[in-house]
A and B are shown apart, each in its own frame.
Chain A
Amino acid sequence: MAYINLCPGPSHILKPLHPTYNANATYEAYINALPANKLPWVSMGPWVAVEYKPDEIMVFRRNPYFWQVDDQGNQLPYLDEVQWKLSSWEDRTIQTVAGSADYSNMENPSIYLESLKRAQEPDFPNNVYWGPRSLHWRIDLNLSTTCGVAGERDAALRELHRNKDFRRAITQATDREALGQSLVRGPFAHPFAGGLHTETPFYKADMVVFYPYDPEGAETLLAKLSFEDTDGDGLVNWTDGPLAGQNLEVTLHHTLLRTTDVSLTDSVVSMMQDVGIRVIPRPIQQGAEVVRETCEWDWILDRGDNEYHVPIANLDWLAPLATNVPQWHQGTAEHPQVLLPFEETLVELITKIRIEPDIETRNEMLREYNRVFTDNIYNVGLITIPAALLINKRIKNVPPGTPVLAYQWSEDAVMRECFWVAEGDQIQELFPETLPGIN
């Protein structure tokens, strides 16, 4: 709902409220000039909020002044009313499967099998449209030496993260096949090396460096870094530096909002334990970004967004072009990141890609970017999976194959303005025959 098409913005409404245009206005007042409970909301979108009950429902009515038309010249949208049931991410999919909601992105692998079983039944209310493998999970190792370093432990650990042999040890200790199957059995999950997604034009198998599961190799690499189990407790110890004698321990933050992240963390903890690294899970009630922004973390397990699926739209996220990117190597305005040599290569590549007009050359450069990224294990990719669009069968004009995530999430990609429901299938409107703000 919050995506592009519904953003408010008519200047004749907003200008009088802004201090730049109105000497009597203040920024403090501007924040709450149009509060959520002031209905109808000011919007240039296809529907306008006419009723809002926090945590329960928002009701939108068709905007009679919406500017888009269909190919016949009919004004959009077709739907007179849209009801938004306010719920959690995972619950919305369950509600849609059950039939108490009409639309959801199914992106939680742990209910794929159950939903597919249910979808075999004739009374299943939805169509299921599978898209490409556009979701990935990964572990970020904090590479920053200038941001969020609280003491010598953090400093030592960040230096360790910056060592390619260590990152390689971590990636080789990770059994991605098993991780994928543990999330959902079947053909859904694929191992993911990190970098750009496999099912995009920017991916080429021979331009990706994939380090296969090799726990013995990981142990050898740790030994090369002078880690050994000096106290016989099954965990390797630091043998020099300020942490000498201590076990190699790292914290791993993950969100509790998705069951996938909890499951993956549990498996990763076990895999790292096998090579002698103690990973301490740190669950977060909110999204992982809450911790990410503080810079005070060791590892974060998180789901990626569309920057690695549609890199063109998010080039500035892909390399340390600013102090707040990439998410696992941040700096501050006073103390920018200290770049690793390969990061400088990435910066150069992205800078060139930004101004490259030729599509094929640009794609080739992105493949090169991917090679450098994966060769140096910039982050530890885990798995990549497809997601599906669940939408009630009575809703027509849904482009089949619409990806759940590409340039935007599917809510915008499906063009909701064109949704159409046959008269006999329509459900009861809450505010029939009304126009927002008029009657």
Chain B
Amino acid sequence: MAAFLWRRSLSALGLLFVVSIVSFILIQAPEGDFGTHYKTFAISQGGMTEADAQKLADQIRVRYGLDQPLYLQYLNWIGGIVTEGDFGQSFTYNKPVADLIGERLWRTLGIALTCHLLATLIGVSLGIYAAVNQHRLGDTASTVLAFLGMTIPRYFMALLILYWLAFIVGSPYIGSLFSPRYVLAPWSLAKFWDLLLHIWPIILIATVGGLAYNLRVMRCNLLDVLRQPFIETAREGAAGEESDPQTRRTQRAAPARHVSGRHPALYADRRAGGGDRPERADHRPADARHIGTPGRVRNGDDILVALPGADHRQLHRRSASGSTRSANSHGRSGMSTQPIADARAGLLADDAAPAVQTTRSQTYLNLVWRRFRKNRVGMTGGVLVALLLLTTIFADFLAPYDPAQRDRDNIYTPPANLHFVSDEGFHPIPFAHPVAVTLNPQTFELVFTEDTGVRCRPEFLGKGWNCTLFGIPMNRHLLAASLECPWHILGTDRDGRDMLSRVLIRSQLTLIMAGLVVAIAVTIDTLFGIVSGYNGGTVDHWLQRGVEFILALPELPFYFALVAIIPRNAEPLHVFFMLAAILSLLKWAQLAREVRGKTLSISQLDYVTAAEAVGAGTPRIVMRHILPNVMSHVVVVTTLMIPIVVLIESFLSFLGLGVQPPLVSWGMLLNAGKDLQNLGSYPWVLTPVVATLITVLSFNMLGDGLRDAVDPYQH
């Protein structure tokens, strides 16, 4: 143990060293140094000649050691930190950086810990509740909460709360940590209460995001565990214990019979994807006689593990003594009815045996699909995702207006009221009335009045704006509307651009970014996670150090540094791909660690040992036994990662570091929330929030359904 701790401490030190080098390089990455800044300042503000300014800059460099080679600068920097805790001097505050960090460290830690504890406590509790009550109201409610928590960008939540506090409530507790009277006062209950009054929005926002993640992961993992045979066995045993003493004896024996008698086959069948058709015989262990050794079996001690995933050929029995036997028999191919009959003869020696029914063996995907299609939530998610993808692909055709077309006469027009019925009868394509805008003379609020004398209706498959679909230029649109007679069903933005068209078209970039990042990240992390977890040893050690390094990277400064080194006139498309690459690079590590954990636990299981014993190669074990078992986790994390990428992209756009115009993503559209008047006066420009919500919801529902479908223990 001591050696292990020593080794890990050493590697942590190594990691810190590497992180410090990378941080130093990031600091140095932008062009120029403090001397350059000083020189520019001296020339522009001091009217100094270039030669004099250069001399001054050189003096500055000597004073701060910036004239030394980089490695010496690094050594000075790190030397000061390690030996004296000296991080240097802040020019802004004219104070040592260490003091500044020290002043803020406890507050930051306090807030972070509070949020973390709350998020863990509430998230885990709700996750347990949701898992235990799967598909019930509580589960749905907490899932919706989780979706909302994960979907709504935190800065957007912050803006909403800020708007509410400032312009609706008129709260005096905004914009700082304390009221003036408590800033300088010693700690007291009153000061603590004052802090809470100021800080609750921060805690709420940070907690909701973390809570949502914990809830989802807890629910997912607990569902995995709850479906494990030993839990089922325990449950059945518990049920028996609760029954009357007369029947208890019989029921206590039930688990043993389940495992060793007739039920293992059915059990295996159900767990392996047979759904609710226990009469199916094709997954029954052919050599079940070897499994079924009746004996004294305690609850949970004698466990039948039915392999999920691609290969259902192995059934393992872990006895109380730990011995393992493997029955590599039932499979999708090459199975004759004779062994089954043997099995029946051996296992179902009584006349309770059902009639043998032979059907064609199902592939793994078939089994997953069979289960998936029965999951209404999953199917709804699947349909929504399919619709979303179709909408995205045909966005140009569906958009009634050119999303970039400005209209100075329709700035901030609210969503049109659609009319299907008029005195002329029913209109399959609804019409809208143009809107005239006047101002309230007191507040200058906009007053919108419909001009009911005019009806605006788009033309079905009419000619409209020029676009390309699959590279083919076209100007026909499903519903082509004109600017002269506006038909903005989701309203317009600050430049009079049609919100519906913008949301439709901008979905493309968002989904491409999310798809790209998730595809790259999930592939890398699954690969690395499995390789690391299964191989162990040196490979695992170094891969894990790599993972730790990525996790330790300071994300935000990293983005800032990268933006600083982007050339002045870089192509927006290049910036887009660079962002995707950076996000992929930074996002794979967490999942890799989780996959590694899962792989580690799976690779210790008997059936893997058995597979190794019968000479199965590593690729086969990985592909057939490990990958299918980690897939449920990967699927869930993938669905979680899509909204995370959308949100990060939007946050980077919020900071001005994300996708650049003329490329526009939902993230950029979400930034309309920064303009506080949009929250109060023009809420329809926040439609992208709804679009993001629907997207995230769809992917999550699909992910949930898939998770359940690939889950080997799912009922």
14 CB < 8 A contacts A-B: A59-B184, A94-B166, A97-B167, A98-B166, A98-B169, A110-B675, A116-B442, A117-B680, A177-B408, A182-B494, A262-B671, A267-B494, A278-B662, A282-B568
Taking a contact as CB atoms under 8 Å apart, the answer to whether A281 and B660 are in contact is yes
Of A49-57, A67-75, A376-384, A411-419, the segment with at least 4 beta carbons within 8 Å of chain B is A49-57
Contact with A along B178-214 (1 / 0, CB 8 A): 1011011000000000000000000000000000000
Contacts of A53 in B (CB 8 A): 183-184
Contacts of B681 in A (CB 8 A): 113-114
List B510-530 residues whose CB lies under 8 Å from chain A.
Answer: none
Contact with A along B45-81 (1 / 0, CB 8 A): 1011111100000000000000000000000000000
Contacts of A322 in B (CB 8 A): 47
Known pairs A114-B676, A178-B406; A280 contacts B572 (CB<8 A): yes
**B470 interfacial by beta-carbon distance below 8 Å:** no
Taking a contact as CB atoms under 8 Å apart, the answer to whether A293 and B411 are in contact is no
Taken together as a complex, chains A and B put the C-alpha atoms of A430 and B181 apart, in Å, by: 6
Contacts of B184 in A (CB 8 A): 51, 53, 57, 59, 430
What's the minimum C-beta distance from A137 to chain B, rounded to whole angstroms? 15
Which one of B171, B406, B442, B568 has the greatest number of beta carbons of chain A within 10 Å?
B568
Taken together as a complex, chains A and B put the C-alpha atoms of A32 and B89 apart, in Å, by: 13
Taken together as a complex, chains A and B put the C-alpha atoms of A59 and B180 apart, in Å, by: 9
**B445 interfacial by beta-carbon distance below 8 Å:** yes
**B321 interfacial by beta-carbon distance below 8 Å:** no
Contact of A36 among B51, B94, B496, B676 (CB under 8 A): B94
Interface SS majority for chain A: mixed
List A316-358 residues whose CB lies under 8 Å from chain B.
Answer: 322-324, 330, 332-334
Contacts of B446 in A (CB 8 A): 185-186
Contacts of B163 in A (CB 8 A): 114
Of B36-44, B112-120, B341-349, the segment with at least 4 beta carbons within 8 Å of chain A is B36-44
**B453 interfacial by beta-carbon distance below 8 Å:** no
**A123 interfacial by beta-carbon distance below 8 Å:** yes
**B661 interfacial by beta-carbon distance below 8 Å:** yes
**A311 interfacial by beta-carbon distance below 8 Å:** no
Taken together as a complex, chains A and B put the C-alpha atoms of A117 and B404 apart, in Å, by: 31
Taken together as a complex, chains A and B put the C-alpha atoms of A56 and B446 apart, in Å, by: 38
Taking a contact as CB atoms under 8 Å apart, the answer to whether B445 and A178 are in contact is no
**B93 interfacial by beta-carbon distance below 8 Å:** yes
Interface SS majority for chain B: loop
Which one of B44, B172, B411, B412 has the greatest number of beta carbons of chain A within 10 Å?
B44
Please name the residue on chain A nearest to B661 by beta carbon.
Answer: A269
Interface residue tally for chain A (C-beta within 8 Å) = 80
Contacts of B40 in A (CB 8 A): 293-295
**A306 interfacial by beta-carbon distance below 8 Å:** no
Contacts of A293 in B (CB 8 A): 40-41, 44-45
Taken together as a complex, chains A and B put the C-alpha atoms of A101 and B174 apart, in Å, by: 10
**A11 interfacial by beta-carbon distance below 8 Å:** no
**A20 interfacial by beta-carbon distance below 8 Å:** no
Contacts of A57 in B (CB 8 A): 180, 183-184
**A120 interfacial by beta-carbon distance below 8 Å:** yes
Please name the residue on chain A nearest to B185 by beta carbon.
Answer: A430
Taking a contact as CB atoms under 8 Å apart, the answer to whether B406 and A271 are in contact is yes
Identify the 10 closest CB pairs spanning chains A and B, nearest first.
A283-B656, A333-B49, A182-B494, A186-B444, A178-B408, A98-B166, A293-B44, A100-B172, A95-B175, A57-B183
Taking a contact as CB atoms under 8 Å apart, the answer to whether B166 and A430 are in contact is no
Please name the residue on chain A nearest to B446 by beta carbon.
Answer: A185
Taking a contact as CB atoms under 8 Å apart, the answer to whether B181 and A428 are in contact is yes
**A83 interfacial by beta-carbon distance below 8 Å:** yes
**A408 interfacial by beta-carbon distance below 8 Å:** no
**A397 interfacial by beta-carbon distance below 8 Å:** no
Taking a contact as CB atoms under 8 Å apart, the answer to whether B175 and A118 are in contact is no
List A77-124 residues whose CB lies under 8 Å from chain B.
Answer: 83, 85, 87, 91, 94-95, 97-101, 110-121, 123-124
Known pairs A178-B406, A187-B444, A324-B44; A114 contacts B167 (CB<8 A): yes
New contact pairs (18) apart from A114-B677, A185-B411, CB-CB < 8 Å: A32-B94, A98-B169, A111-B676, A113-B681, A116-B444, A117-B445, A175-B408, A183-B494, A186-B439, A186-B444, A187-B444, A262-B656, A270-B661, A280-B572, A281-B656, A293-B45, A322-B47, A333-B52
**A125 interfacial by beta-carbon distance below 8 Å:** yes
What's the minimum C-beta distance from B665 to chain A, rounded to whole angstroms? 13
Which one of B166, B172, B437 has the greatest number of beta carbons of chain A within 10 Å?
B166
What's the minimum C-beta distance from A173 to chain B, rounded to whole angstroms? 12
List A269-308 residues whose CB lies under 8 Å from chain B.
Answer: 269-271, 273-274, 278, 280-283, 285, 292-295
Taken together as a complex, chains A and B put the C-alpha atoms of A112 and B439 apart, in Å, by: 14
**B173 interfacial by beta-carbon distance below 8 Å:** yes
Taken together as a complex, chains A and B put the C-alpha atoms of A36 and B43 apart, in Å, by: 27
**A263 interfacial by beta-carbon distance below 8 Å:** yes
Taking a contact as CB atoms under 8 Å apart, the answer to whether A35 and B94 are in contact is yes
Taking a contact as CB atoms under 8 Å apart, the answer to whether B677 and A110 are in contact is yes
Please name the residue on chain B nearest to A298 by beta carbon.
Answer: B568
Contacts of A295 in B (CB 8 A): 40, 44
Taken together as a complex, chains A and B put the C-alpha atoms of A110 and B51 apart, in Å, by: 45
Known pairs A114-B680, A186-B439, A187-B444; A99 contacts B656 (CB<8 A): no
**A402 interfacial by beta-carbon distance below 8 Å:** no
Contact of B174 among A100, A114, A281 (CB under 8 A): A100
Taken together as a complex, chains A and B put the C-alpha atoms of A294 and B172 apart, in Å, by: 41
Contacts of B158 in A (CB 8 A): none
**A226 interfacial by beta-carbon distance below 8 Å:** no
Taking a contact as CB atoms under 8 Å apart, the answer to whether A273 and B175 are in contact is no
List A124-180 residues whose CB lies under 8 Å from chain B.
Answer: 124-125, 153, 175, 177-178
Taking a contact as CB atoms under 8 Å apart, the answer to whether A332 and B439 are in contact is no
Taken together as a complex, chains A and B put the C-alpha atoms of A183 and B675 apart, in Å, by: 9
**A216 interfacial by beta-carbon distance below 8 Å:** no
**A230 interfacial by beta-carbon distance below 8 Å:** no
Contacts of A285 in B (CB 8 A): 656
Taken together as a complex, chains A and B put the C-alpha atoms of A262 and B173 apart, in Å, by: 28
Contact of B47 among A37, A256, A323 (CB under 8 A): A323
Taking a contact as CB atoms under 8 Å apart, the answer to whether A100 and B47 are in contact is no
Contacts of B47 in A (CB 8 A): 322-324, 333
Contacts of B443 in A (CB 8 A): 113, 116-117, 119-120
Known pairs A100-B172, A251-B568; A266 contacts B412 (CB<8 A): no
**B655 interfacial by beta-carbon distance below 8 Å:** yes
**B674 interfacial by beta-carbon distance below 8 Å:** yes
**A364 interfacial by beta-carbon distance below 8 Å:** no
**A184 interfacial by beta-carbon distance below 8 Å:** yes
Contact of A333 among B48, B93, B177, B661 (CB under 8 A): B48
**A259 interfacial by beta-carbon distance below 8 Å:** yes
Taking a contact as CB atoms under 8 Å apart, the answer to whether B175 and A91 are in contact is yes
